Structure 1
Amino acid sequence: MDDNQRFQIGRRTSLMNIIGNVLLTALKATVGYIAGSTAMVADAFHSGSDILATTIVLHGLKISHRPPDEEHHYGHGKAESIVSKLIAILLVVTALGIGLSAYNTLKDPALEPPNTIAVWTALISIIFKEWMYRYTVGIGKKIKSQALIADAWHHRTDAFSSIAALIGITGAIYGYPILDPIAGIVVSAMIIKAAISIYLEALHQLMDTAPPKEVMDEIRQISMSVEGVRSVHDVKARKYGVQILVDMKICVDPLITVEQGHHLAGQAKHSVLEKIPDVKDVLIHVNPCSEKDYEKCNSCKHYKNG
C-alpha cells in the first residue's frame, strides 16, 4: 500500500468518525440536559472531545503524507506520533473537566435522579462507540497509523464512559442519586488511564525506538542472502512514524573493486526494501572483510554465507 492509498483510507475513516461524533455529542448533551444527568452531560463532553481529537488526527495524516523537503529530509512521518501525544493531552484535559464537574455535583445536597431517557441514550452510545472503536482500530492497524489507533482508543474510552454513566444513571433512578456523579468521577479516571498509555506509546516512537527483534533478524538474513556479502554487522534501525530507517555495515571481499562493493550494497538495500515494506530507507557502509574480521563475525553468531 503506497502513501497516497494510506492517506485516503485514513482520511475517509476520520471524516466518518467526525460526523458520527457530532451526532452523538448533540444527542448526549440534549438528553443529559433534559434528563438532568450529570454523568450523561460529562459523557457528552467526552464525545465532543472526540471531534477535536479526530480533527487533529486528520491534520496529522495530511502532514505525514507530505514528501521530504528542504527542511525535512526524511519526510514528515513523525507527525502522527506528535498527534498521538496531543490526543493524550486532550484526553487528560477532558477527564479533569469531567471529574471537576462531577465532584461539584456530588457536593450538592439536593441530588435528583435523572430521567429514564438517559438510560436508553447511554445504551445507544455504548453500542455505537464500540463499533466506532473496532472499525477505527481495524483501519489503523491495516494502514499502520499510530494516530488513528490512538483515536480509536478515544472511542473505546467513550464507550467505557457510557457504561459507567449507564450504571450511575440506573443506580440513581432506583434510589441512589449519588451514583450519577460518582460515575462521572469514574469516567474521568478511566480516560486519564487511557491517555497515559497513548502518550507513552507516542513517546517511544519519538525516541527512535528500534523495531522488534524479529524484524532486525529478518534484515540481517535478507542482507546475508546476497551472494558476495560475507557478513553483516552493526545493524541499527529506528521507527520513523509508521516506517523504519535502517543503518548497517556489510563486509565484502577486499580484492573486489569499489564498483563491485557498491553493487553488492545496492543489492542488499533493494532486497530489504522489497521484502520488508515497512522499511523506508537503508544506509549501508561497505567494509573490506579480512579473515580475522570474518572469523570474528562468525564467533559473534552473525549471519554468514555457507
Structure 2
Amino acid sequence: MDATEGNRHHHGHHDHDHAEAGHRHEPPASRPARVRHRLAHLVRPHSHESVDKVDTAMETSREGMRTLWLSLAVLGATTLIQAVIVALSGSVALLGDTIHNATDALTALPLGIAFVLGRRAANRRYPYGYGRAEDLAGILIVAAIAASAALAACAAVDRLLHPRDITHLWAVAAAAVVGFIGNEWVARYRIRTGRRIGSAALVADGLHARTDGFTSLAVLLGAGGAAFGLRLADPVIGLLITAAILFVLKDAAREVYRRLMDSVDPRLIETAEAALHAVDGLRGVGPVRMRWIGHTLRAEADIVVDPHLTVVQAHRLAVAAEHALIHAVPRLTAATVHTDHTPADGDPHEPLAHHTGRVDVVAADRAGAGAP
C-alpha cells in the first residue's frame, strides 16, 4: 500500500480534523511568541496542499531568477570596468580576472533557463517535472569554469614567454578592488539564496564568485610587483589565478556530481528515520531513500505495521508516516510510503525474490519486519 501525491486529499482531511480538535494554527498573541511561531513555520511548513506546493516552488524560482539577474548586472558592470583597464594597461593578470568574471556573469543564463523550465508542470513524458534542468545547468557551469581556466592559463603563459611592461598601475589596482567588491557581494547573495531554496547549482555558482573575489585581490600583487620593476610578477599572478580557478572547478564539479548521482546529506535520512519511529502504531521502519528533483526532495520509505490491520487502518498509518516526513525534512515535497507487516503466514515478498535487483529490497524488507 502506498501513500503518494494522489492521496493529498487525505492530508487535507487530517489537517482539518487536527484544527477542529482545537489545534488551529493561529499566531500567538505576544510578539516574542509570534516571532517563534514564524520561525517554526520557516523550518516546518504546516500546509501540505498540492496548490501550496506549486506556489512555493514558483516563489523559490522567482527568488532564484531575481538573484541571477542581479548577479548578472553586478558582474557585468564589474567586467566592463576591468575590460577597459585591461585595454589601457595590458595586464595579463587583470585579463585573467576579467575573463573569469565575464564567465561567471554568463553562467546566469543556463541557470535562468533551468529555473524557467523548472516551473513547467509534470506530464506523462516527465512525470517528476523538469527540476533536473538545474543539474544540466550545473554541468554547463562546470564547463564554463574549465574554459575560463584554460583561457587565463594561455594568456599567462604567453606573457611569460613574451614579457612586457604594463601601464596605468593605479588603474589596475583600482580595478582589482572593484572586482573583489563585486564578486564578494554576488557570492554572498547567491550562496544565501541557493541554500535557502535548496539549489546546488546556485550555491556552486556562489562559491565560484567568492574565489573570483580573492583572485581579484591577487591582481594587486601583480601590480605591486610591476611597480617595483618585476616584469614577471603580472604573468605569475595570472598563473596563480588559474590555479585558484582550478580549485573552484574541483569543488563545483564535486557538488554537481553528487547531485547527478542522487546524493543527499546522510543527516536527512537520519531525520526521516527518527520522524518515522515517532509515528504511533508502527512496528518498525525499513529502508528510507531520498533524491533531489531540482531544489526539492522526494522520498521513498518502508514502514512495518501489524498484520491484522484493515486496509483502511494501514493506509491511515502510511499517510501519517508521510505527513511526519514532510514536517521533519526540509524541502521534502512528497513521499511514497510502502507498508509491510510483521511476520505472518509466509513471506509476501517471495514472488519478487527471483527478479533482478529485487533480492536486496526483499532482504531489507524482511529485516525491517523482523523476519528471521
Match of 2:201 in 1: 147
Match of 1:251 in 2: 304
CA–CA distance in structure 1, aligned partners of residues 197 and 340 of structure 2: 37
CA–CA distance in structure 1, aligned partners of residues 264 and 150 of structure 2: 34
Match of 2:236 in 1: 182
Match of 1:16 in 2: 70
Matches within 5 A, 1:185-264: 185-212=239-266, 214-264=267-317
CA–CA distance in structure 2, aligned partners of residues 235 and 170 of structure 1: 57
- Please say if residues 85 and 198 of structure 1, whose CA atoms lie closer than 8 Å, have aligned partners that are also in contact: no
Matched, 1:281 2:334: yes
- Please say if residues 307 and 344 of structure 2, whose CA atoms lie closer than 8 Å, have aligned partners that are also in contact: no
Out of 26, 37, 60, the residue aligned to residue 91 of structure 2 is 37
Match of 1:94 in 2: 148
Shift in Å, 1:99: 0.7
Cα deviation code 1:118-156 (max 9, x no counterpart): 111111211221122112211211222112112212211
**Structure 1 length normalisation: TM-score?**
0.90
CA–CA distance in structure 2, aligned partners of residues 164 and 38 of structure 1: 12
Shift in Å, 1:291: 7.7
- Please say if residues 273 and 279 of structure 1, whose CA atoms lie closer than 8 Å, have aligned partners that are also in contact: yes
Matched, 1:128 2:202: no
CA–CA distance in structure 1, aligned partners of residues 279 and 344 of structure 2: 19
* Alignment CA distance shift 1:208-1:55 (3 Å): same
Cα deviation code 1:190-218 (max 9, x no counterpart): 11220121011111111112432x32222
Q: Secondary structure at the match of 1:245?
A: strand
Match of 2:115 in 1: 61
Q: Secondary structure at the match of 1:208?
A: coil
CA–CA distance in structure 1, aligned partners of residues 287 and 194 of structure 2: 32
- Please say if residues 205 and 240 of structure 1, whose CA atoms lie closer than 8 Å, have aligned partners that are also in contact: no
Matched, 1:267 2:312: no
- Please say if residues 253 and 289 of structure 1, whose CA atoms lie closer than 8 Å, have aligned partners that are also in contact: yes
Instruction: Tell me whether 119-128 or 234-243 shows the greater mean CA deviation.
Output: 234-243
CA–CA distance in structure 2, aligned partners of residues 107 and 202 of structure 1: 36
CA–CA distance in structure 1, aligned partners of residues 124 and 72 of structure 2: 33
CA–CA distance in structure 2, aligned partners of residues 77 and 250 of structure 1: 28
CA–CA distance in structure 2, aligned partners of residues 288 and 9 of structure 1: 44
* Alignment CA distance shift 1:176-1:273 (3 Å): same
Shift in Å, 1:303: 11
* Alignment CA distance shift 1:158-1:168 (3 Å): same
Shift in Å, 1:3: 0.8
Matched, 1:27 2:72: no
Structure 1 unaligned blocks of 5 or more: none
Matched, 1:156 2:204: no
Instruction: Tell me whether 98-107 or 149-158 shows the greater mean CA deviation.
Output: 149-158
CA–CA distance in structure 2, aligned partners of residues 32 and 231 of structure 1: 66
RMSD of the TM alignment (CA)?
2.4
Cα deviation code 1:216-269 (max 9, x no counterpart): 222222223332211111222233333222222212111121222112111211
* Alignment CA distance shift 1:210-1:41 (3 Å): closer
CA–CA distance in structure 1, aligned partners of residues 295 and 197 of structure 2: 9
CA–CA distance in structure 2, aligned partners of residues 167 and 174 of structure 1: 11
Q: Secondary structure at the match of 2:107?
A: helix
Question: What is the percent sequence identity of the aligned residues?
Answer: 27
- Please say if residues 211 and 239 of structure 1, whose CA atoms lie closer than 8 Å, have aligned partners that are also in contact: no
Out of 103, 106, 115, the residue aligned to residue 52 of structure 1 is 106
Shift in Å, 1:53: 0.7
What is the aligned length?
298
- Please say if residues 90 and 167 of structure 2, whose CA atoms lie closer than 8 Å, have aligned partners that are also in contact: yes
Q: Secondary structure at the match of 1:237?
A: strand
Q: Secondary structure at the match of 1:229?
A: coil
CA–CA distance in structure 2, aligned partners of residues 121 and 160 of structure 1: 13
Out of 71, 75, 80, the residue aligned to residue 125 of structure 2 is 71
Structure 2 unaligned blocks of 5 or more: 1-41, 43-55, 348-363
CA–CA distance in structure 2, aligned partners of residues 82 and 26 of structure 1: 28
**Structure 2 length normalisation: TM-score?**
0.74
Partner letter of residue 86 of structure 2? G
* Alignment CA distance shift 1:223-1:40 (3 Å): same
Partner letter of residue 330 of structure 2? P
CA–CA distance in structure 2, aligned partners of residues 240 and 165 of structure 1: 40
Partner letter of residue 179 of structure 1? A
- Please say if residues 72 and 108 of structure 2, whose CA atoms lie closer than 8 Å, have aligned partners that are also in contact: yes
Shift in Å, 1:187: 0.8
- Please say if residues 144 and 242 of structure 1, whose CA atoms lie closer than 8 Å, have aligned partners that are also in contact: yes
